[in-house]
Amino acid sequence: MNAFSRREALLALSAGGMVAAAGSTSYAADLPQPRRAGAGGDDPGPRNVDRDIQNPDILNQPTTDAGTLPNLRFSFADAPMKQYPAGWTRQITKRELGISQSIAGVDMRLNAGGVRELHWHKESEWAYILYGNARVTAVDPEGKNFVDDLGPGDIWYFPSGTPHSIQGLGPDGCEFLLVFDDGGFDEDSTFLLSDWFKHVPKSVLAKNFGVPATSFDNLPAPSDRYIFNLPIPGNLDSDKIAGATAVPNGFVHRMGSQVPIKTSGGTVRITDSKNFPVSKTIAAALVEVEPGGMRELHWHPNTDEWQYYIQGIGRMGVFAANGHSRTFDFAAGDVGYVPFAMGHYIENTGDKPLVFLETFKSDHYADVSLNQWLALTPPELVSGHLNFGKAAMEALKRTKQPVVSGA
| Residue 119 annotated as binding site | yes
Q: How far is CA 25 from CA 4, 18, 31, 137, 138, in A?
A: 21, 12, 14, 62, 63
Paired residues of 166 in beta bridges = 116, 136
Asked if residue 201 and residue 189 are part of one domain, the reply reads: yes
Q: Are 359 and 282 in contact (CB under 8 A)?
A: yes
Verify that 38 and 93 share a domain, yes or no.
Answer: no
In a domain, 67, yes or no: no
Q: Are both 223 and 288 inside the same structural domain? A: no
Look at residue 81 and give its three-state secondary structure.
coil
Q: Which of 96, 117, 288, 358 is catalytic?
A: 358
pLDDT band, residue 21 (cuts 50/70/90): very low
Q: What is the pLDDT of residue 9?
A: 44
pLDDT in tens, 197-246: 999 999 999 999 999 999 999 999 878 899 999 999 999 998 988 889 98
324 annotated as a binding-site residue: no
The string of DSSP codes covering 350-376 is: SSS-EEEEEEEESSS---EEHHHHHHT
Is residue 176 assigned to a domain?
Answer: yes
Q: Is 385 annotated as a binding residue?
A: no
What's the CATH number where 235 sits? Answer: 2.60.120.10
Number of domains in the chain: 3
Claim to verify: residue 288 and residue 226 sit in the same structural domain: no
Whole-model pTM above 0.85? Answer: yes
Tell me, yes or no, whether 280 and 186 share the same domain. no
- Please check if 164 is assigned to a binding site: yes
| Average pLDDT value for the chain | 92
Stretch 154-162: mean pLDDT: 97
113 and 102 part of one domain: yes
Residues 311 and 206 in one domain: no
The string of pLDDT tens digits covering residues 39-78 is 999 998 899 999 999 999 999 999 999 999 999 999 999 9
Longest CA–CA span in the chain (Å) reads 85
Active site residue 358: yes
Is 80 exceeded by the pLDDT of residue 22?
A: no
Q: Is 68 domain-assigned?
A: no
pLDDT value at 20 more than 50 = no
**Domain extent at residue 51:** 6-59
Please give the span between the terminal C-alpha atoms of the chain, in angstroms, as a whole number.
18
What is the pLDDT, as a whole number, of residue 27?
57
> CB neighbours (10 Å) of residue 372?
18
Tell me the per-residue pLDDT of 304-352, one tens digit each, with 9 for 90 and over: 999 999 999 999 999 999 999 999 999 999 999 999 999 999 999 999 9
- Residue 18's pLDDT is 40
Q: Is residue 348 part of a domain?
A: yes
Last residue in a domain, options 202, 232, 253? 253
Whether 91 and 33 map to the same domain: the answer is no
Gap between the Cα atoms of 249 and 247, Å rounded: 6
Q: Which of 253, 286, 302 is the last residue of a domain?
A: 253
Residues 234 and 276 in one domain: no
